[in-house]
Chain A
Amino acid sequence: VSGTLAARDLTVDLGATALAVARRLAGGATCWCSSPDGGSLPVGLPGARRLPWAGLVGALRGAVLPGDVAVLRGSDDTSDDVLLRAPAWGLTTVWLGQDDRPRDGAADHVLQADDVDALVTRCLALLAGDPAALAPPPDCDGPVCITCSDEGRFAEVVAVHGPTAQVRTAEGLEDADLTLVGGAQPHDLLVVHAGMALTRLERQTR
């Protein structure tokens, strides 16, 4: 029974992942792929770009736009760092692989199975022929009150100017006051509320 359940769950996740990626690509996003061994990844996607695992964080930082997709295979400090920064970059993340999955919730989509790359590619090819499926879902997000929602947006520091930093969020560039975090360095990750950095995010040890 558990085997049947697992297969059904994987099928559902595969469909959800492929649909999310296909919608991004249809909207003009770029898909960035990388694995530590340079192994197979669904690089047959339209516009997919392969990046080397070494220096991946820096390469993505300079390359991605909000809405882009990153497909990763490996699980190590590099993948942890990318997944941690992805919300600040506005990046949708997909992790493929068999063992050592990322921490729960670290990636948007996790497909934990052998040889899943080909299935993703096949699904995407099928979806590419179905424009109706690729239409963006209706936006049901109303205005959000920053104080009522206890908002905390993930932001990566771009540059520091005295008590203020220019930060990068999924919505674009903005300023954040650094008083409450005692300063910051470029590339630090912050949680920002009402223009104020509340805390600095640290990568959790594996």
Chain B
Amino acid sequence: VKYVDEYRDPAAARVAVRRITELAEGGRGGVPYAFMEVCGGHTHTIYRHGIEQLLPDTVELVHGPGCPVCVIPMGRVDDAVSLAMQPGVIFTSFGDMMRVPGSRSSLLEAKARGADVRMVYSPLDALKIAMANPDRKVVFFAVGFETTAPSTAVTLIRAKELGVANFSVFSNHVTIVPPLTAILDSSDLRLDGFLGPGHVSTVIGNRPYDFVAQTYRKPLVTAGFEPLDILQSVVMLLQQFADGRCEVENQYNRVVADEGNPIALAILDRVFVPRPTFEWRGLGFIPHSALALSEEFAAFDSERLYDVPAVRVADPKACQCGDVLKGAIKPWECKVFGTACTPETPIGTCMVSSEGACAAYYTFGRLHSTAAGLAAAR
């Protein structure tokens, strides 16, 4: 846990905390304001810098489904392991995805059994591996929201231009607006507003969120990733309530343009098409919430090139990642948190990625008095 004097520009952070305390006094009708941070990066910042401990009791932060590793269902991990075990395949992936447990094993365990699984920093690195190994087939495990999907798209365009025939993509890219809608449509919704994702919004801009304010009457503020950004975004949300406004605002305007990145959006439109539906861990099937490769790039689509099991697999019964991802329970309220499920031996995806709510809480938030008390009571 860090303290405000360790924040960037602590003087400004202190002003923001005081303003939050003033604006949130009494809560909303006596109940704490509940704001969901959609992005896993925000969750990480909140825990790492102890922001929850700085906020008054009248403001609660709820952790949303914005960690793309956390929301990948177990069946898709099994499909990835199946691809990795194919003869002659070099399977490439971002690091965190390698530790996510499937129903039988993770990619890391597949690697231990002899599969050629390699960690990459960028999909372009996977393409380089393909070009350096023309006698092998290279598959890239594409995960991530609209921040990462353009990298995959550019890589596919590059692969097509260069005629790299031994490269393909197993696309699990997801999009941010459909799960937001699903959360807003859920019957047990108790949220007053949203902290919108920062770098996703550099690509899609702020206008796709307008429906949140206009249709659902919930304010949304696109937020940066410094602790001060989070605090100022909470101030902006509370100020909207004080003013009787309900709008989409942009705290991260030093980076995010309202219109997003038109080049990236055009490239996404060319390379991907929305899937009719896609399963999200904890949220179930959400229509048009994920991206498949378009017909133009069918020759690079791992799902068309290889037989994959494509079987739906239920989460372990003890795992409550779904409830955590919906914001229905806090990480430490899960029955296996910190006991059977730890970052070293994760049962659920939320404990794998350091941006997952459970892993972030385990690493940075275990001294929180409420959690400690509840853990002791269990």
Contact = CB atoms under 8 A, between A and B. Distances in A.
Given A150-B198, A201-B254, A106 B147 contact: no
Interface in A180-199: 180-182, 191, 193-196, 198-199
B44 A149 contact: yes
A150 B39 contact: yes
Interface of A: 9, 12-13, 15-16, 104-110, 112, 140-152, 177, 179-182, 191, 193-196, 198-199, 201, 204
B185 to A, nearest CB: 24
A179 B203 CA distance: 13
A144 B261 contact: no
Q: Which range holds the interface residue count of chain B?
A: 35 or more
B353 A15 contact: no
B106 interface: no
Contacts of B6: 16
Contacts of A152: 147, 198-199, 202, 225, 255
A198 B203 contact: yes
A145 B94 contact: yes
Contacts of A109: 9-10
Interface of B: 5-6, 8-12, 14, 39-41, 44, 48, 66-70, 94-96, 121-125, 143-145, 147-148, 150-151, 154, 157, 197-200, 202-203, 224-226, 228-229, 232, 253-257, 261, 263-264, 267, 353-356, 363-364
B344 to A, nearest CB: 12
B229 A144 contact: no
Contact of A110 (B11, B124, B267): B11
Contacts of B122: 194-196
A9 B96 CA distance: 40
Given A148-B355, A152-B202, A180-B264, A193 B148 contact: yes
Nearest to B354: A142
Contacts of A181: 261, 263
